[in-house]
């Protein structure tokens, strides 16, 4: 099944509209007239970062986002300074941003005390009198007063091929005694000889006439396929994992409080898996997620007493707590670093920003666990964590990946038993049974559903379809974190068919679900042709038994169909016996892994075109 996610690009790529006719020049809303960045690195890993950019407005549509600039920093580990901000008019006039156009938001504690979870300060400016043809200019400096990892520094950036860049300059100034590695893609490089114990590398880039692109889906992103650069003092990704572990692993120590809590959670459960699941469920459902952005707290877990006292923590806090609870029951686990975004292949140069999430690995059970997910049951990973490179903090091995969703794990079956009434309305029951991500998603939605919303669910569902109907929803208790779920509805929908004369009706699901066959087929009709896309395997089955009025004469039913290729299959059977019409449709996707190449989606489309006609076929009657 196509599993689409979003990848959000930076300000410089904001508002880029994908379009057809690749190879033609784009009609641009703005252009980056200048983008200059300088890093001055110290031997301890602290650094000063200066950015100076200018954006020229070409279209009215760009004014809304371009007239605002924003910079944020951690007040305990960084200092920020706006160097200049102004609107440049085509006639040369320079309109400075006044003090009244600044917005400063500070996270701080009570009565000058330390903040609990975030010390981020943000500075926003609004440029005055911005119009088409103007250029907004903004420059700021960030000074790192405490290194993220002592003695280390890493940075990477990319520049969209669909954005206009007239003048990109990147300069990195670093101690000659510091071991470094770096590379650039599609950028001119200049290295300066050592002077006064320091070295300098510079890169430049221009993309004055960007071309149109057919790409719409950024659910898979490979930074090494874009113009850009990477610079790092880390020799390997193993060094990044080790640097994280130096300060994180001691926080997972088993204290008396942790030992007592673990015993209370597992109670009389026996066996490693049952106990591990109980501990995972407790952390996932009791510890609220909260971003922890206080200085080096961005990479160092909180003290576990603080996490337990507040029942709150971010990914590394929850991974550390789960590791400690497991250790208290004699179950070995470690933490692991992964990219929870759209990066499925780590770049050659090891940069810390490529691994932005912390999960757990339990070797004895051969599984990964992400307790920050409040919907995913034990034994599964959130989709965004699966089939990704992973850095084990202990027992690191090159090439280690989290597993993709197992074949056959994601299933949905919808059984509809309906009666077409003489007035043209249709009534009956529809039952949905699910496994895997489908079940996890439905459970999550059901947990959030109030009693009032449950009572109005069927009516609102039909209203969204432009129909009139009512009914009652029955569902299993969604509280448990489990990979199966079932819900059922009794429905009555008006004007399903016009029985005053000859007519026709479609056979289609009358109850909302996470994985209807038509949804998959529709999404496959416009495949991504330029880049890999996130995908996964799955099965969806729809069964119908429709009792027709005895005086209805059926002229034809849809034809049976069987279509298959190397990784997809669809079967549909239709039968009329007496006045009962039965239909069964099954779509099976046997895609391996979480990433599908454009060639795969060409086959998806060919397959979908054959299936679509069958889904559109109608029952003819008089």
Q: Are residues 59 and 165 in the same domain?
A: yes
Work out the average pLDDT over 220-245. Answer: 97
Give domain status of residue 197, yes or no.
yes
Cα gap 338→388, rounded to integer Å: 7
Give how many domains the chain has, as a whole number: 3
Whether residue 99 lies inside any domain: the answer is yes
Q: Tokens standing for 183?
A: 């590379």
- Looking at the fold, whether 182 and 48 belong to one and the same domain comes out as yes
Residue-wise pLDDT for 250-278, tens only, equals 999 999 999 999 999 999 899 999 999 99
Of 392, 424, 448, the residue that ends a domain is 392
Model confidence pLDDT, tens digit, residues 301-333:
999 999 999 999 999 999 999 999 999 999 999
183-215 pLDDT, tens per residue? 999 999 999 999 999 999 999 999 999 988 888
Q: Give the residue numbers spanning the domain of 153.
A: 11-234
* Percentage with pLDDT > 70 across the chain: 95
Average pLDDT on 281-287 reads: 97
Does residue 400 sit within a domain? no
One domain for residues 438 and 368: no
Q: Are residues 434 and 377 in the same domain?
A: no
**33 and 180 co-located in one domain:** yes
pLDDT in tens, 440-486: 999 999 999 988 888 899 999 999 988 999 999 999 999 999 999 99
For the domain that residue 599 is a member of, what is the CATH number?
2.60.120.1130
User: Does position 51 have pLDDT exceeding 70, yes or no?
Assistant: yes
* pLDDT attached to residue 112: 67
Beta-bridged to residue 568, according to DSSP, are 589
Which pLDDT value is given to residue 3?
Answer: 36
Q: Are residues 128 and 217 in the same domain?
A: yes
User: Where does the pLDDT of residue 5 fall: very low under 50, low under 70, confident under 90, or very high at 90 and above?
Assistant: very low
What is the domain-level CATH number for residue 268?
3.10.620.30
226 in the same domain as 253: no
| Interval 75-81 mean pLDDT | 91
pLDDT of amino acid 24: 61
The string of pLDDT tens digits covering residues 487-523 is: 999 999 999 999 989 999 999 999 999 999 999 899 8
Tell whether 572 is covered by a domain: yes
> Which of 362, 392, 422 delimits the end of a domain?
392
Residue 1 lies in a domain: no
Mean residue pLDDT of the chain comes to: 92
Domain boundary, last residue among 392, 422, 453: 392
The answer to pTM > 0.75 is yes
Query: Is residue 450 located within the same domain as residue 346?
Result: no
My answer on whether 263 and 182 are in the same domain is no
Is there a single domain that holds both residue 264 and residue 343? yes
pLDDT per residue as tens digits for the range 102-146? 999 888 877 666 777 788 899 999 999 999 999 999 999 999 999
293 with 227, same domain?
no
Contact 442, 514 (CB under 8 A): yes
What CATH code is carried by the domain that includes residue 35? 2.60.40.3140
CA–CA distance from 59 to each of 10, 31, 63, 490 (Å)? Answer: 19, 10, 7, 52
User: What pLDDT shows up at residue 11?
Assistant: 35
**Could you tell me the pLDDT band of residue 12, with boundaries at 50, 70 and 90?**
very low
Cα 212-217-222 angle, rounded to 5 deg: 90
* SS3 per residue for 54-112: EEEECCHHHHHHHCEEEEEEECCCEEEEEEEEEEECCCCCEEECCHHHEEEEECCCHHH
Q: Is residue 401 part of a domain?
A: no
Say if residue 247 is in the same domain as residue 218. Answer: no
């Amino acid at each position: 099944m196509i599993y689409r996610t979003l990848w959000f690009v930076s300000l410089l790529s904001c508002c880029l509209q994908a379009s057809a006719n690749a190879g033609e020049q784009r009609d641009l809303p703005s252009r980056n007239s200048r983008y200059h960045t300088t890093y001055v690195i110290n031997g301890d890993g602290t650094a000063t970062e200066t950015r100076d950019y200018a954006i020229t407005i070409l279209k009215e549509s760009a004014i809304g986002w371009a007239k605002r600039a924003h910079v944020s920093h951690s007040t305990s580990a960084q200092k920020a300074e706006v160097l200049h901000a102004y609107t440049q008019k085509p006639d040369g006039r320079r309109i400075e941003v006044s003090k009244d156009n600044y917005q400063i938001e500070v996270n701080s504690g009570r009565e000058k005390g330390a903040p609990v979870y975030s010390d981020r300060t943000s500075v926003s400016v609004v440029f005055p009198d911005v119009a088409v043809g103007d250029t907004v200019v903004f420059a700021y400096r960030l000074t790192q007063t405490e290194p993220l990892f002592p003695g280390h520094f890493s940075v990477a950036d990319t520049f969209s091929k669909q954005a206009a860049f007239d003048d990109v300059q990147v300069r990195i100034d670093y101690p000659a005694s510091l071991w470094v590695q770096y590379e650039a893609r599609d950028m001119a490089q200049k290295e300066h000889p050592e002077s006064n114990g320091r070295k300098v590398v510079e890169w430049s880039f221009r993309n004055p006439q960007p071309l149109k692109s057919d790409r719409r889906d950024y659910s898979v992103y490979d930074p090494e396929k874009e113009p850009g650069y990477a610079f790092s003092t880390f020799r390997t990704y193993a060094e990044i994992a080790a640097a994280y572990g130096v300060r994180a692993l001691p926080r997972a120590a088993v204290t008396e409080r942790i030992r007592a809590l673990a015993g209370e959670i597992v109670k009389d459960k026996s066996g490693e898996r049952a106990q591990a699941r109980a501990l995972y469920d407790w952390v996932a459902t009791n510890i609220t997620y909260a971003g922890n952005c206080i200085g080096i707290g961005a990479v160092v877990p909180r003290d576990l007493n603080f996490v337990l006292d507040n029942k709150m923590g971010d990914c590394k806090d929850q991974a550390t707590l789960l590791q400690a609870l497991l250790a208290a029951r004699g179950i070995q686990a470690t933490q692991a670093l992964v990219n929870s975004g759209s990066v499925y292949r780590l770049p050659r140069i090891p940069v810390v920003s490529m691994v932005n999430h912390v999960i757990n690995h339990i070797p004895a059970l051969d599984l990964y666990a992400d307790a920050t997910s409040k919907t995913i049951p034990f034994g599964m990973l959130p989709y965004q964590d699966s089939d990704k490179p992973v850095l084990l903090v202990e027992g690191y091995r090159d090439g280690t990946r989290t597993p993709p969703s197992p074949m056959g794990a994601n299933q949905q079956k919808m059984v509809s038993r309906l009666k077409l009434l003489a007035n043209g309305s249709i009534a009956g029951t529809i039952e949905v049974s699910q496994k895997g991500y489908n079940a996890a998603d439905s459970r999550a939605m059901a947990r959030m559903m109030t009693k009032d919303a449950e009572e109005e669910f069927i009516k609102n569902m039909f209203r969204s379809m432009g129909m009139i109907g009512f009914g009652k929803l029955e569902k299993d208790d969604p509280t448990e974190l489990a990979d199966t779920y079932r819900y059922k509805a009794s429905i009555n929908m008006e004007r399903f068919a016009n029985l005053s004369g000859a007519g026709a009706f479609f056979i289609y699901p009358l109850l909302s679900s996470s994985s209807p066959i038509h949804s998959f087929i529709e999404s496959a009709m416009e495949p991504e042709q330029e880049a890999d896309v996130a995908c996964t395997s799955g099965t969806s089955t729809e069964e119908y038994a429709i009792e027709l009025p005895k005086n209805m004469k059926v002229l034809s039913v849809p034809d049976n169909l069987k279509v298959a290729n190397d990784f997809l299959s669809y079967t549909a059977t239709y039968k009329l016996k007496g006045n009962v019409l039965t239909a069964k449709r099954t779509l099976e996707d046997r895609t391996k892994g979480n990433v599908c190449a454009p060639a795969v989606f060409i086959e998806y489309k060919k397959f979908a075109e054959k299936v679509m006609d069958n889904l559109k076929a109608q029952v003819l009657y008089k």
